[in-house]
Amino acid sequence: AALVQNISATYRCTVTEIKGVASMPAAAYYKPRNRYRAPVVLTYLNTYSGYDKIIGITAKDISTTKNAIYDWGVMGLGSCPGKACVISTFRLRTPNKNLFNERFLKVALHELGHTMGLQHCTYSSTCFMEAAEGTIKSVDRETKSLCTNCKKLLTQLTQ
């Protein structure tokens, strides 16, 4: 419920929560690292019709290609701009439930921001659109808010 409320408030949109379990696409599985390729998951999520945006949530480890590294582990990936994003709880885990929920929310807002057309923020280290650069510490430092620059950009992108 907190995720739905925060997405709705941040992006000023109606959010429909669809509960259910879908299998990860077999084509996304990367056996050498026991991970799922996030770009393949995005392609799969794009096949869902009837929604402007869709967030896939998984506990499985996911990865993408970053520069010369084919299998870079990530917390999430979003099409920029686009319809789909995927979030993995695998790298967000902590015994502290409140901290986990906070991390999850920030990553969800971040990846959904990409679907809206927002790039990584270079203006503020507390903006949730800042690049995580592979570390959870940056997510923990971020707030659940966009910086002034990203707010302006979002307004321009969504008009």
Residues labelled catalytic: 111
DSSP string of 55-112, one letter each residue: EEEESS-EEEEETTEEEEEESEEE-SSSSEEEEESTTT--S-HHHHHHHHHHHHHHHH
SS3 at position 45: helix
- CA–CA gap between residue 4 and residue 129 (Å, rounded): 18
- CA–CA gap between residue 86 and residue 72 (Å, rounded): 15
Nearest to 25 by CA among 40, 8, 15, 35: 40
Q: Are strands 69-74 and 62-66 parallel, antiparallel or unpaired?
A: antiparallel
